[in-house]
Amino acid sequence: MSLTFYLDKGASLDPGAPCLTLDGDSLSYGEVVALSHAVARALRRSGVRPGDKVGILSANDPTAFSCVFGIARSGAVWCPINPRNAAAENGELLDLFDCVALIHQPAFDGLVDEIAPTLPKLTTRVRLGAEFDAWLAAAADDPAAEADQPDGVVALVGTGGTTGRPKGVMLTDRNLEAMSAITLMSYPFEGRPVYLAQAPLTHAAGVLCFPIMARGGEVVIMAKPDVGRFLELIERHRVTHTFLPPTLIYMILGHPALDGTDLTSLQCFWYGAAPMSAARLAEALDRIGPMAQLFGQSEAPMMISTMSPAEHRLADGSIAQARLSSAGRPSPLVTVAILDPEGRPVPRGERGEICVRGSLVMAGYYRNPEATAEASAHGWHHTGDIGFLDADGFLYIVDRAKDMVITGGFNVYSAEVEQALMVHPGVRDCAVIGLPDEKWGERVVAVVQPQPGTDIDVAELTAFVKDRIGSVKAPKQIEIWADLPRSTIGKVLKTEIRSELAKEATA
């Protein structure tokens, strides 16, 4: 089914209901449907044909997100472009995707002016605002333009380019249908949902809108991150569902308004996109409420494994401490296996690469058959994550394969060290990497961001970690930084940490 299904389904339930809301102003379902038809007609008049690629470059914005459905209605392919990326990275993505059209906010005129001369395939550029309105008006009397994507690909999503040239993940209507079905069957939905989107709609926060819309829910959009306003909007709009990466949840836990905010409307507060400290998660369960985990990646969006709010607690209502460091259980429509490097399943409880099969998995990488073949070796999609399944079927992610540290002949998983560090009350966030070492081959290095107003004693913190995981896994070097480098969606960038520490070592 096309992306338009989710919007049209919501409109069939109540066309006058609020669909997309920003700063108290709402577009109804009927208005968003009409806008999507107008965008489809304008794209067709501009020469965009089914299967062509159309980029959207915008901060969180109702009109920009409405264009997603217009692109889909025309049979073109939606290419979300992150406005927080550097101009060169976005130019690289638009070129990689073969985009023929770009819809963007005026705030990004300078960025588009910079990259447009390098994009000969980009023949249509439309600025939101008066220019966009005129573009729609010019096609107002054209016949309806509605078509399916020829190969079922509805979106092209760029992977992070921190380790080389980014890749374009081809997501099909079937992938997003599986993601939406898993969402609706795995998490609580009572009544008409109200979803608060603070995280970028170009990422997880955007695709989570689709199952919300299928239930006729309202999407309350935040144009920019603001923890205090986030809490205020939950209370004001009686928000039922929301999503944030762990970094922003840590900020909420440290915000003075948290304990005075009415969060009783929440049914499901999703967290994901990066590992979360089990200690901070336990605190969030007590102070925020119904936390819900999701684990996925661009290639298998959002729902490889899930853990509902109920699964965070035991039958007696107490916190299920032992499973807080897990990623939940494999989703109902997904098969997960833990494989060795030869593609053979390892015994239950042993570590290997987390691999996935099912309709959630992408169609492949755009114009990159070599990378597609590598990712789908042995008939499984390879996530690049190391993990294991326990006796109860819970999935544990112990590290990214590339982040494992081999020190003195022992395998040390950075995520395990990070979990130990995060138990310390003075640590707000941290990252663990391996650096070359003449004695150990690699040494375990931790970069720690302290809680505001906290002075961390490195010797005391080292002893604290040794008491929990032993001296082999404990960091041989701890650096204190005021903040950690992060991607546009809040992930800590270990490549930048390695680069900075390498510079310091040679200075």
Q: Where in the chain is the domain with CATH 3.30.300.30?
A: 404-506
DSSP run (H or E) holding 370? helix 369-375
Q: Which pLDDT belongs to residue 503?
A: 80
| CA 251 vs CA 28, 254, 466, 507: distances in Å | 32, 5, 27, 34
- CATH number for the region 4-174 comes to 3.40.50.12780
For residues 181 and 52, what is the distance between their CA atoms, to the nearest angstrom?
A: 27
pLDDT at 406: 79
Q: Report the Cα 343 to chain-centroid distance in Å.
A: 27
Yes or no: say if 178 and 359 are a contact pair by the CB < 8 Å rule: yes
User: What is the pLDDT tens value at each position of the chain, 507 positions in all?
Assistant: 789 999 999 999 999 999 999 999 999 999 999 999 999 999 999 999 999 999 999 999 999 999 999 999 999 999 999 887 878 888 999 999 999 999 999 999 999 999 999 999 999 999 999 999 999 999 999 999 899 888 899 999 998 544 457 899 999 999 999 999 999 999 999 999 999 999 889 888 899 999 999 999 999 999 988 999 999 999 999 999 999 988 889 899 999 999 999 999 999 999 987 778 899 999 999 999 999 999 999 999 999 999 999 999 999 999 999 999 999 999 999 999 999 999 999 999 999 999 999 999 999 999 999 999 999 999 999 999 999 999 999 999 887 777 778 787 677 878 889 989 999 999 999 999 988 887 777 899 999 999 999 999 999 999 999 988 888 889 999 999 999 998 766 778 888 898 888 888 776
pLDDT value, residue 304: 97
Q: What is the pLDDT of residue 402?
A: 75
Architecture of the domain whose range is 404-506:
2-Layer Sandwich (3.30)
Q: What is the pTM of this model?
A: 0.85
Q: What is residue 164's predicted lDDT score, i.e. its pLDDT?
A: 56
Residues contacting residue 35 through CB under 8 Å, at least 6 positions apart: 27, 63, 66, 67, 69, 70
Domain with CATH 3.40.50.12780 in the chain: 4-174
Helix 29-45 to helix 4-13 angle (10° resolution) is: 150
